[in-house]
Amino acid sequence: MRKSLGFKLLLSLSEHMAFAAAFALSALVVAGMTGAYAGAVFRHRAAALALGGLALASYAVMFAVLRLESMALLLGTLVLVGVLAFLMALTAKMNR
């Protein structure tokens, strides 16, 4: 839901401003909302900042990949493979 709202906001804003500015603004709005919600649910400022920062970092990676145009598919796939490998390594010992 968070990503689809971010892209709808991006699409709406990019009709009226430069793409980079619209992307930054929509990323800040959605990351801020995510952090605020996490703070309300977990009642910890650290959790709110961590989840808001993670959301902002994911948008930064998407923006960087989109700017690479001809290499976007390859680099986007490599990022996803890296994230999956990290999560697999992180969770491999959970059931032992």
- 39-71 pLDDT, tens digit each: 999 888 888 899 889 889 988 988 888 888 888
Residue given tokens 């804003």 in the structure block: 13
Q: Per-domain residue ranges for the chain?
A: 2-68
The conformation of residue 17, written as its DSSP 8-state character, comes to S
Query: pTM of this prediction?
Result: 0.74
The conformation of residue 95, written as its DSSP 8-state character, comes to T
CA pseudo-torsion sign 68, 73, 74, 75: positive
CB 88: neighbour CB atoms within 10 A?
Answer: 9
* pLDDT > 90? residue 4: no
